[in-house]
Amino acid sequence: MHSDRFRQLVDATGPFVSIYFDDSHDTEDATAQLDARLRDIRKQLEEHSVDTSVIEAVEGAVRGAQPPVGRSGRAVIAAGDTVVLDEHLIRPPTTTVVRVSELPYLVPIVEHGMLHTTYLRVAVDQTGADISVHRIARVTSENVDGDGYPVHKAKSSEGHEYGKEHAVEEAVRKNIREVADRVTELVDETGAGLVFIEGVNTARTELVSALPERVADKAVQLEGGGRAAGTDEAEVHHEIGQEFLKRRLATIDDAAARFAAGRGTGLSVEGLADVTAALRDGAVDTLIIGDIGDATVVADAGLALIAADPDTLSDLGVAPEHTLRADEALPIKAVATDAALVRTDERISPADGVGAVLRYAENSSA
């Protein structure tokens, strides 16, 4: 997962409130369930002596966003009384997580968040398309109605109309081109990472063919959905979730391969001591987060330098002023140095639950 999506957290001032919970909207009592979860979150925040203004900011962000479709999780991080991150997760956490600490907690987003925070959905047919731009907790929609007409071939009983078949085909192509032009504009404007295309197979295929290569490479054709009324949104949501999951697994595969290849070459490290050293040097290309548990690291007064133990920090001429959770300190330090973040599974089991693929061998002159 690219770290640039978290850059605003690096410059924000804590303490931070990090909340992860199930906000699925797949039952008749979904609203009542959300109310209950928010009451539980409020209670936990009050037990941490969090100010009422912060609690109200969190609740306002949750209630003010468009409800998800089907199974979903939610991530909300506040710095002071300002919500600085608010995202839907592909999968809901098994239990509600509430943390109040000096640093934000990012691991659940790395594990269950969407790799691309902006994507397009395009429901296309012969006459045009319905396009929606999905950003973090916000959706905007528009329609493209092509000028091409007619778009339906004559029935067999209308033999005298067969001469219009070429005109119909050209009208459909014109409409598809108009959709392709608008999709391209939106991808360029928003930086969307994926374009999900719905509709009948012929319209989907024609649209992909009409897109420039740089946009076509981002296209994913969905079997469900479409422009007609009665679209099964839950099915479309499931397909989109599966695509994000597939890409996440591919990212883990890539990280695992690079981590294994880097062993013995100086291009990968593992364990708290070596990973914190690489982060201090700005050498980490990809931080691999496994089961860190309750491990801690130490930091200087300004939280600029971290180390696995006080002696290491003292050897650097800095007094260890803070003890931090490793699963909070390492990811935010990776973000500060533009390193990518990967939440590993059983494919990678680094020492101390943490590893890193490096930009260069630390013993090199690079």
366 vs 288: which has the higher pLDDT: 288
Instruction: State residue 297's pLDDT score.
Output: 96
Q: How far is CA 273 from the centre of its chain?
A: 29
- Would strands 194-198 and 138-145 be described as parallel, antiparallel, or unpaired? unpaired
Rg value, the chain, Cα: 25
Q: How far is CA 206 from the centre of its chain?
A: 29
CA distance 2 to 327: 17
- Would strands 97-101 and 73-79 be described as parallel, antiparallel, or unpaired? unpaired
Task: Please say whether the structural domain 3-112 has been given the CATH code 3.40.720.
Answer: no
Q: Where are the domains of the chain?
A: 3-112, 119-231, 249-358
Instruction: State residue 365's pLDDT score.
Output: 39
CA distance 260 to 254: 10
**Sheet strands (E) in the chain:** 16-22, 73-79, 82-89, 97-101, 119-125, 128-135, 138-145, 194-198, 219-221, 268-270, 284-289, 296-299, 306-307, 322-325, 340-343, 354-358
pLDDT digits (tens, 9 = 90+) for 270-314: 999 999 999 999 999 999 999 999 999 999 998 889 999 999 999
Instruction: State residue 150's pLDDT score.
Output: 47
Query: Model's pTM, two decimal places?
Result: 0.83
Please state which CATH number belongs to domain 249-358.
Answer: 3.30.1330.30
Q: Are 133 and 120 in contact (CB under 8 A)?
A: yes
CA distance 261 to 256: 8
The CATH class that applies to domain 119-231 reads: alpha beta
Instruction: State residue 225's pLDDT score.
Output: 81
Q: Is residue 111 pLDDT above 70, yes or no?
A: yes
- Would strands 194-198 and 97-101 be described as parallel, antiparallel, or unpaired? unpaired
